[in-house]
A and B are shown apart, each in its own frame.
Chain A
Amino acid sequence: MLSIKNVTKIYKTGEIETKALNGVTFSVDKGEMVSIVGPSGSGKSTLMHILGALDVPTSGTYAINGTNIEHMKDDQLAEIRNREIGFVFQSYNLLPRTSALKNVILPMAYAGVEKNKRRETAVSILESLDMGDKLENYPNQLSGGQKQRVAIARALAMNPSIILADEPTGNLPTKQSSEIMDVFEDLNKKGHTIIVITHEDEIAERTKRIITLVDGKIIKEEKRK
């Protein structure tokens, strides 16, 4: 499903080179729910950008569904993100002044899905996440947990291979945070592949496999349950 081999990422600031990732190798199979943990500065965010096709590695290979993407151009990466990856961000990243429904429709609009089908799909996903009565609400009219549900609905819109959640509960109070993790567990049971990036142990413990990253290297891999 997803395979990353010997990936390094080097940032250059003037003369100074920073190795954010230093030979990371792992793979995720279909239907897995994996968490990537590590302290800040461990390379978590960089790894998430590469996994999310938002950035390309300096060296090494990365394949999604057997397609290597490490040498792709901007527009090809955009297509990969659109079809294969569903993002859930810590700060939700919903478009302001845009209704919940329209936010969920957006990835389908970029994919050129037929208009009625977009709406139909968006409504049914939002309903399945208990957001059926908030379709026309704007993000600023929703609670943090509700915003994150809209973001998850948007991530699901194109039925992607992987759902990539970057600190999805970071801005939420404990109760809502636990509810969002329930949603992820539920989605995983339905067959979605989920990668959660987090620094919170309670969150990581709700996944089946924990990958620990320190100084750009994987130092521990732990299977649970």
Chain B
Amino acid sequence: MTIVELMAESIDVLKTNKMRTALSVLGIIIGIGSVIALMTLGKAAQQSTVERISALGSNMLTITPGSESEGFLRGGGGSASTLTYADAQAIANEDRITTIDEVAAEYSSNAQVAYERNNSSVSVNGVTPDFFSIRNIDIESGSVITQSDVELLNKVAVLGPTVVTDLFGPGVNPLGQTIKINGTSFTVVGVTAEKGSTGRFNTDETVYVPLTTAQRGLFGVNHVSAIYVNTKNADDADAAENQLGYYLLELHRIKNPADADFSIFSSSELLATVSEVTGTFTTLLTGIAAISLVVGGIGIMNIMLVTVTERTKEIGIRKALGAKRRSITSQFLIEAIILTVVGGIIGVAVGVLISMFLTKRMGLPQIIAYESIGLAVAVSCVIGIIFGWYPAQRASKLQPIEALRYE
């Protein structure tokens, strides 16, 4: 008997047991569907996280105060006071640091912002002019904080779009208006473009003022929360990190790098770490989904064992008529493979639909993990072979007289 004939016979048999066929296929559909959905969701989440981090500035280095040996779990960025605006200016003017482009310093804290009767507690960032370009923050209207604002301690403010909505409501042009920050009057000179939240920074809910104004006028401090540096090329991150590190050690007169009172990390490092973490989660979720696939496979095996017992007589007849062991094995194996492959194909469709629905609902990029489809179909074939093999073997080993006697 040829494979095609065996397949035609198997399909006939499967059609006569519709309910049973449907239920055993369902196990595979769920397994394959969930593997595809979770792989796709994982991939979409990873892509979205990467995009958000890239939005921070793809070739940006962040220098924060506090020692590296205390790790990243310090009491929030800027809790130590070892970095100053002078450090940022020194870095910008140092000829030996060849890899960097722009330098910005930031001091951020929370403050009460009020316009007429409206007020809200927001993050107030004292910044220098290059901050906006380094952090990829665009201006919607008006202007940015300028160098002369910083030098003259001007009381000017650039608002995030959410702050504008909160303070002014619709239909009021905020430019030129006077707002109060912790009781001090500031003139609004610009509004930033909407950007969305990037992790714990939400640039839309921030008020930007000149760094010096924030330090001396508002919060009475001398240090900065962070210094941001842009590298000339994206590949320069490592070199820039070295140059900056050694230069700052020298500037702070620290001999042993382990005693450094600042730490530097690059967005590319963060990107790598986050990608790795989301990748691990995707693998983990896919692994859990794979368990349901195995359970589906066991379901197939169960059904095939029942089928073999039920059709013992038929196997006996076939053997009496000259069916060899191979013919019987192939027949039952093909039946199991048809079940799993049909389940696999439907499962792919279901998985793709679920992924499309969920990524849309969760606002993730609309992607399909195409490699998961190939993988799923291959896996369902393999499951058919593995879990169909034992029942098929059992069928082929039946002795013809025993099988013929079976009622």
Residues of A within 8 A of B399 (CB): 55
Residues of A within 8 A of B321 (CB): 81-82, 87, 106-107, 110, 154
Bitwise, A144-171 to B at CB < 8 A (1) or not (0) is 0000000000100010000000000000
- Show 16 A/B contacts (Cβ-Cβ < 8 Å), sorted by A: A52-B320, A54-B401, A55-B399, A74-B324, A74-B325, A75-B325, A75-B326, A81-B321, A83-B322, A89-B404, A93-B317, A94-B317, A97-B13, A107-B322, A109-B5, A110-B322
A49 within 8 A of B: yes
Q: Which residue of A lies closest to B405 (CB)?
A: A45
Inter-chain CA distance A112–B327, complex, in Å, is: 11
Residues of B within 8 A of A95 (CB): 314, 317-318
Residue from A52, A109, A154 whose CB has the most chain B CB atoms within 10 Å: A109
Q: How many A-B residue pairs have CB under 8 A?
A: 61
Nearest-Cβ distance from residue B334 to partner chain A, whole angstroms? 15
Nearest-Cβ distance from residue B351 to partner chain A, whole angstroms? 34
A78-B324 contact in complex given A55-B401, A93-B404, A97-B12, C-beta closer than 8 Å: yes
A182 within 8 A of B: no
Which of B300-338 touch A at CB < 8 Å? 313-314, 316-327
B400 within 8 A of A: yes
A111 within 8 A of B: yes
Nearest-Cβ distance from residue A28 to partner chain B, whole angstroms? 20
B404–A106 CB distance below 8 A: no
A186 within 8 A of B: no
B322–A82 CB distance below 8 A: yes
Residues of B within 8 A of A78 (CB): 319, 322-325
A79 within 8 A of B: yes
Which of B387-403 touch A at CB < 8 Å? 399-401
B1, B313, B404: the one contacting A110 at CB < 8 Å is B1
Closest 10 CB pairs of A and B: A82-B322, A107-B321, A110-B322, A75-B324, A54-B400, A78-B324, A93-B317, A109-B1, A54-B401, A81-B322
B1, B313, B320, B324: the one contacting A87 at CB < 8 Å is B320
Q: Which residue of B lies closest to A93 (CB)?
A: B317
Q: How many chain-A residues does the 8 Å CB contact rule pick out? A: 26
Q: Which residue of A lies closest to B316 (CB)?
A: A93
Bitwise, B7-42 to A at CB < 8 A (1) or not (0) is 000001100100000000000000000000000000
Residues of A within 8 A of B16 (CB): 97
Residues of B within 8 A of A112 (CB): 1
Inter-chain CA distance A12–B175, complex, in Å, is: 104
Nearest-Cβ distance from residue B232 to partner chain A, whole angstroms? 74
Please give the residue numbers on chain A whose beta carbons come within 8 Å of chain B beta carbons, in ascending order.
49, 52, 54-55, 74-75, 78-79, 81-83, 87, 89, 93-97, 106-107, 109-112, 154, 158
Q: Which residue of B lies closest to A81 (CB)?
A: B322
Inter-chain CA distance A39–B327, complex, in Å, is: 37
Inter-chain CA distance A87–B399, complex, in Å, is: 16
Nearest-Cβ distance from residue A101 to partner chain B, whole angstroms? 14
Nearest-Cβ distance from residue A82 to partner chain B, whole angstroms? 2
Residue from B317, B318, B321 whose CB has the most chain A CB atoms within 10 Å: B321
Nearest-Cβ distance from residue B311 to partner chain A, whole angstroms? 10
Inter-chain CA distance A55–B316, complex, in Å, is: 12
Nearest-Cβ distance from residue B138 to partner chain A, whole angstroms? 72
A79-B320 contact in complex given A49-B401, A54-B404, A93-B404, C-beta closer than 8 Å: no
A79-B324 contact in complex given A93-B317, A110-B1, C-beta closer than 8 Å: yes
Residues of B within 8 A of A109 (CB): 1, 5
Inter-chain CA distance A110–B323, complex, in Å, is: 6
Inter-chain CA distance A87–B319, complex, in Å, is: 11
Bitwise, B265-309 to A at CB < 8 A (1) or not (0) is 000000000000000000000000000000000000000000000
A111–B317 CB distance below 8 A: no
Residues of B within 8 A of A94 (CB): 317
Residues of B within 8 A of A74 (CB): 324-325
A81–B401 CB distance below 8 A: no
Q: With A106-B318, A110-B322 given, name 19 new contacts (CB 8 A).
A: A49-B401, A54-B320, A54-B401, A75-B325, A75-B326, A78-B319, A78-B322, A81-B320, A81-B321, A89-B404, A93-B313, A93-B320, A96-B314, A97-B13, A109-B5, A110-B323, A111-B322, A154-B321, A158-B322
Inter-chain CA distance A85–B322, complex, in Å, is: 9
Nearest-Cβ distance from residue B398 to partner chain A, whole angstroms? 10
Q: Which residue of A lies closest to B322 (CB)?
A: A82
Residues of A within 8 A of B327 (CB): 110
Residues of B within 8 A of A93 (CB): 313, 316-317, 320, 404
Nearest-Cβ distance from residue A225 to partner chain B, whole angstroms? 31
Q: Which residue of B lies closest to A166 (CB)?
A: B404
Residues of B within 8 A of A87 (CB): 320-321
Nearest-Cβ distance from residue A196 to partner chain B, whole angstroms? 17
Residue from B16, B314, B326 whose CB has the most chain A CB atoms within 10 Å: B314
Inter-chain CA distance A95–B313, complex, in Å, is: 9
Residues of A within 8 A of B317 (CB): 93-95
Inter-chain CA distance A97–B310, complex, in Å, is: 14
Inter-chain CA distance A94–B316, complex, in Å, is: 11
Residues of B within 8 A of A75 (CB): 324-326
Q: Which residue of B lies closest to A92 (CB)?
A: B317
